[in-house]
Structure 1
Amino acid sequence: MAFIVRRTTAEEWREFRELRLEALLDSPNNYGQTHEQASALPDEYWQERAQSNASADDRAFHVAVDDASGKLVGMWGVFPHFDRPGVCIVLGVYVQPAVRGMDLARRLMHESIAFARTTDAKELLLLVRDDNYRGRRFYEREGFEFTGLAEPHNLDPTHELVEMRYPTFR
């Protein structure tokens, strides 16, 4: 199997929506939104989000595309932090189960970090749920470090979102 990793386009908003909804079904505890919430969003929301993800200078979503079928099989986003100026945050990381272990998460990560370095951000962070051991191990192997900060998960306050930073970002 061959895969292309690239920035998403505005025209593939439907495919991006499908992949996001799939991620929410596959790993409902790992995101800050439910499948039901995302499913209820109008097409205009997805179109605007796809346009912004494809063209903004300060945010982007990168996707892994199956070269044979053209289907989106993974994604990784970087955005300005919600309330911390000068910080980028990783959002929406997902790789379909059938293609996990094929180095796509690492490739998506590297493309997204390269993009984030073109912004004015001085730091790159992510939040990972405390019981997402697979994700935590991956991020640690790739050089992310725990900061010691955490916050309650908005969908399940009995769990925390643990903050990690990429120390070699700048």
Structure 2
Amino acid sequence: MPSESLVIRTTCEDDWRAVRELRLEMLRDTPIAYGETFEHALALREPDWRHRARRGETAGQTSVVAIEGDRWVGHMGGWLPDASTVPLLVGVYVAPDRRGDAAGVSRALLAAIERWARAYGDELRLEVHASNERAIRFYEKLGFAFTGGTRPYELAPGGLELEMTKRLR
């Protein structure tokens, strides 16, 4: 059950500092999950972070955060790569002490992403690194299934990204 103080909302440009801090936390926690290195993110400048924070206000994409009090405890993003594909779930993160069904953060974030994604299709797609077993179990528990699709992971340590989808209707 989520805490009564949990707020789920999209980001806006003014959130850029908190977006930056949460992204760096995400990259420290699970470096293979985001297609970006910590060093790359650390080197970004304020205009880049403002652009990322505006994703919550931009057509064809969204950035949803979970906030408890003044602490940002989770993030999920959605992106529509092009008009011929289904929405893609990206940037999934929940702080280690807020993970699990009892906290309710991951389900609340996913519900917001699914509401957004329904405007673009009947399915939500994601890619997960083959060695990220914790994330794979999480996605399976929430109704995602493997499609058989794979692609190489572009950063060290390499490996494969596995495609999973979930029906939304």
Q: Same fold (TM over 0.5)?
A: yes
- What is the CA–CA distance in structure 2 between the aligned matches of 1:139 and 1:133, rounded to whole Å? 10
Using structure 1 for the length normalisation, give the TM-score.
0.89
Paired residue for 2:144?
144
Paired residue for 2:84?
85
User: Quick one: which amino acid aligns to residue 115 of structure 2?
Assistant: A
Asked whether the equivalents of residues 10 and 57 of structure 2 are also in contact (C-alpha less than 8 Å), the reply is no
- What is the CA–CA distance in structure 1 between the aligned matches of 2:83 and 2:153, rounded to whole Å? 18
User: Quick one: which amino acid aligns to residue 93 of structure 2?
Assistant: Y
Paired residue for 1:72?
72
Q: Unaligned stretches of 5+ in structure 2? A: none
Match of 1:58 among 53, 57, 60: 60
Counting aligned pairs with the same residue, the percent is 38
1:111 aligns with 2:112: yes
- Relative distance call for 1:20 and 1:150 in structure 2 (3 A) is same
The Cα of 1:72 is off from its aligned counterpart by 1.0
Asked whether the equivalents of residues 58 and 116 of structure 1 are also in contact (C-alpha less than 8 Å), the reply is no
- What is the CA–CA distance in structure 1 between the aligned matches of 2:11 and 2:52, rounded to whole Å? 11
User: Quick one: which amino acid aligns to residue 112 of structure 2?
Assistant: E
User: Quick one: which amino acid aligns to residue 63 of structure 2?
Assistant: F
- Relative distance call for 1:156 and 1:107 in structure 2 (3 A) is same
Which residues in structure 2 correspond to 1:1-170 (within 5 Å)? 1=3, 2-51=5-54, 53-66=55-68, 68=69, 70-81=70-81, 85-101=84-100, 102-118=103-119, 120-156=120-156, 158-166=158-166, 168-170=167-169
- What is the CA–CA distance in structure 2 between the aligned matches of 1:15 and 1:62, rounded to whole Å? 12
User: Quick one: which amino acid aligns to residue 116 of structure 2?
Assistant: F
Q: What RMSD over aligned residues (CA atoms) do the two structures have, in Å?
A: 1.6
Q: Unaligned stretches of 5+ in structure 1? A: none
Which deviations, in whole Å up to 9, do the C-alpha atoms of 1:114-148 show, x marking residues without a partner?
11112x34532100010111111111111111000
Which deviations, in whole Å up to 9, do the C-alpha atoms of 1:34-69 show, x marking residues without a partner?
000111111101112212x12112110110001x3x
The Cα of 1:103 is off from its aligned counterpart by 1.7
Asked whether the equivalents of residues 86 and 123 of structure 1 are also in contact (C-alpha less than 8 Å), the reply is no
Aligned residues: 164
Asked whether the equivalents of residues 64 and 109 of structure 2 are also in contact (C-alpha less than 8 Å), the reply is yes
- What is the CA–CA distance in structure 2 between the aligned matches of 1:138 and 1:99, rounded to whole Å? 14
Asked whether the equivalents of residues 148 and 162 of structure 2 are also in contact (C-alpha less than 8 Å), the reply is yes
The Cα of 1:156 is off from its aligned counterpart by 3.0
The Cα of 1:169 is off from its aligned counterpart by 2.0
